[in-house]
Structure 1
């Protein structure tokens, strides 16, 4: 059975006061719980930042048991965008990775990969121009069966315009393809979005799904 909810937690940054969270996300599932994502990559176009607020914009992978989210998070709390990788938030408790500030209108390349064999750690590489941060996370024992593109907002509205993802790539250790060619889950039908037609290829027991562009336009 597919889990119906995302782990509703705010990264590894704990808010001091109770806040209202609003979620917008698209989610792809592997064909069954025994199949795993082994790569998730994309180019993220950094949107405007109207104010210092708790904006968390991220791609991420979630495991079968929904015990956490492995994610690269664009964080707007300071009034400038900062991006970094991490595992949220416990089971296990891990240190947050490195990161850097990024400007609105620029593009950040994000890659999350676990090498074969599947006992290997996950590696995150975040790159913009000459800035690159690489981090590894000991999460090989987690079966990552969900890939998400998410907007997580605390006490702020979606006021930063479109969120554009280019060159989205997902790889699973299966020859099944329908998980790629069908539409992703649109949580609570909350997001107005457009998506180019997915392209799927299979080789060496792996299926690669590529999507040229996904635009999360606005609340539906």
Structure 2
């Protein structure tokens, strides 16, 4: 993948936590001239043993290095909290609403740019409608070129695998390489498995379906 794109991706990630101790993520990057317009899927809530500043999230990052749009499972309180937001630069927006989660819950996320290109809308859900939250963010002028699946750690990886399922990435254009080529594994730091990848092109739009993305833990 493009080295410049990867450098930009990391710069954006650092906005999400300037003093992050340990990054573990894969990123699907669109080629020049294409951009993501939707990211959806689910995440299985792992165990939590104690309060720690660890963040597990899917997200979209921009070509201008100005931030990351993400759905974050946050373990700082000693229990998990799931919410959506834009972090952490201009525009600085209030974090969206969310809800608590426990081990075994299935969290759904759907981030979609509206057709008028005025905002991104985030819909998150727990256990097929048990609780939901919808928030919109006026960041549709941003060009989202990285779809990231991350474990952002300030504490220990003591929660087991991070499993994303039924992922659908939709991008403009017709080049399917961002989907069919293996994503960037930052610093080769994470044991990752990816299954069931399929891509289709429909009306100048690429739909990338991924059965599962599993971050098993650090490479040792």
TM-score interval w.r.t. the shorter chain? over 0.9
Q: Distance between the aligned counterparts of 2:20 and 2:100, measured in 1?
A: 26
Q: Structure 2: state its 5+ residue gaps.
A: none
- In the TM superposition, what whole-angstrom CA distance separates every residue of 1:158-209 from its partner, at most 9, and x where no partner exists? 1100001100110001111111100000000000011113100111110000
Aligned to 1:21: 21
- Secondary structure at 1:179 match in 2: helix
In the superposition, relative to structure 1, how do residues 20 and 127 fare at CA in structure 2: closer, same or farther (>3 Å)? closer
Aligned to 1:2: 5
- Secondary structure at 2:15 match in 1: coil
Check conservation: 2:20, 2:152, Cα contact below 8 A: no
| Alpha-carbon distance, 1:210 to partner | 0.6
Q: Distance between the aligned counterparts of 1:148 and 1:39, measured in 2?
A: 12
- Secondary structure at 2:93 match in 1: coil
Q: Distance between the aligned counterparts of 1:145 and 1:86, measured in 2?
A: 17
Runs of 4+ deviating beyond 4 Å: none
- In the TM superposition, what whole-angstrom CA distance separates every residue of 1:57-116 from its partner, at most 9, and x where no partner exists? 111101001110000100000011001000001210100000000111110000100133
Q: CA RMSD in A?
A: 1.4
| Alpha-carbon distance, 1:31 to partner | 1.3
- In the TM superposition, what whole-angstrom CA distance separates every residue of 1:2-36 from its partner, at most 9, and x where no partner exists? 2422421346xx9xxxx55210000011111x311
How many residue pairs were aligned? 211
Aligned to 2:111: 112
Aligned to 2:153: 153
Check conservation: 2:34, 2:145, Cα contact below 8 A: yes
Q: Distance between the aligned counterparts of 2:36 and 2:93, measured in 1?
A: 21
Aligned to 1:57: 56
In the superposition, relative to structure 1, how do residues 128 and 20 fare at CA in structure 2: closer, same or farther (>3 Å)? closer
- Secondary structure at 2:179 match in 1: helix
Q: Distance between the aligned counterparts of 1:131 and 1:92, measured in 2?
A: 28
Q: Distance between the aligned counterparts of 2:16 and 2:47, measured in 1?
A: 21
- Secondary structure at 2:31 match in 1: coil
Q: Distance between the aligned counterparts of 1:2 and 1:100, measured in 2?
A: 33
Q: Distance between the aligned counterparts of 2:108 and 2:196, measured in 1?
A: 21
Higher percent of residues as helix: 2
Q: Structure 1: state its 5+ residue gaps.
A: none
Aligned to 1:83: 82
- Secondary structure at 1:77 match in 2: coil
Aligned to 1:211: 210
